[in-house]
Amino acid sequence: MAIKHFLQFSDFTLDEFEYVMGRARIIKQKFKNYEPHPTLADRTLVMVFEKNSTRTRLSFEAGMHQMGGAAIYLNTRDSQLGRGEPVEDAAQVMSRMCDVIMIRTFGQEIIERFARHSRVPVINGLTNEHHPCQVLADVFTYIEHRGSITGKTVAWVGDANNMLYSWLQAAQVFGFHVNVSTPAGYPIDQSLVAPDNQRYTFFANPSDACQDADLVTTDVWTSMGFEEENAARLKAFDGWIVDAAKMKRARPDVLFMHCLPAHRGEEVAAEVIDGPQSVVWDEAENRLHVQKALLEFLVLGRLA
Ligand code: CP
Ligand code: NVA
Query: Which residues neighbour 218 within 8 Å (Cβ) at sequence distance 6 or greater?
Result: 156, 157, 158, 240, 242, 258, 267, 268
**Tens digit of each residue's pLDDT (9 = 90 or more) over 207-246:** 999 999 999 999 999 999 999 999 999 999 999 999 999 9
Residues marked active site are found at 104, 131, 134, 219, 259, 287
Residues 138 and 126 in one domain: no
Residues 204 and 220 in one domain: yes
Ligand number with the minimum distance to the CA of 161: 2
pTM (2 d.p.):
0.98
Verify whether ligand 1 is closer than 6 Å to residue 220 (CB atom).
no
304 occurs within a structural domain: no
* Overall average pLDDT of the 83-103 stretch: 97
Verify whether ligand 2 is closer than 6 Å to residue 293 (CB atom).
no
Above pLDDT 90, what percent of the chain?
97
Q: Which residue's C-alpha comes closest to atom 3 of ligand 1?
A: 56
3 occurs within a structural domain: no
Residues 176 and 223 in one domain: yes
Domain count of the fold of the chain: 2
Verify whether ligand 1 is closer than 6 Å to residue 45 (CB atom).
no
Residue 110 clears pLDDT 90, i.e. is over it: yes
246 occurs within a structural domain: yes
**126 CA: nearest ligand 1 atom:** 3
Residues 126 and 141 in one domain: no
- pLDDT at position 104 is 98
Range of the domain at 219: 133-283
Question: Count of CB atoms within 10 A of residue 281's CB?
Answer: 10
CA 12 – ligand 1 centroid, Å: 22
Q: Which residue's C-alpha comes closest to atom 1 of ligand 1?
A: 259
Residues 158 and 181 in one domain: yes
Cis peptide, bond prior to residue 261, ω within 30 of zero: yes
- pLDDT at position 81 is 87
Residue 184 backbone dihedrals phi, psi, to 5 degrees: -55, 135
194 occurs within a structural domain: yes
CATH number of 25's domain: 3.40.50.1370
Cβ-contact 199, 241 below 8 angstroms: no
**Tens digit of each residue's pLDDT (9 = 90 or more) over 133-186:** 999 999 999 999 999 999 999 999 999 999 999 999 999 999 999 999 999 999
Residues 151 and 278 in one domain: yes
Provide the pLDDT confidence category of residue 77 given band limits of 50, 70 and 90. confident
- pLDDT at position 78 is 85
Residues 44 and 72 in one domain: yes
Residue 1 clears pLDDT 80, i.e. is over it: no
Verify whether ligand 2 is closer than 6 Å to residue 262 (CB atom).
no
String of DSSP letters for 115-149: HHT-SS-EEES--SS--HHHHHHHHHHHHHHHS--
Verify whether ligand 1 is closer than 6 Å to residue 127 (CB atom).
no
Residues 40 and 107 in one domain: yes
Residues 140 and 253 in one domain: yes
Q: pLDDT averaged over the chain?
A: 98
Cβ-contact 9, 130 below 8 angstroms: yes
Residues 98 and 170 in one domain: no
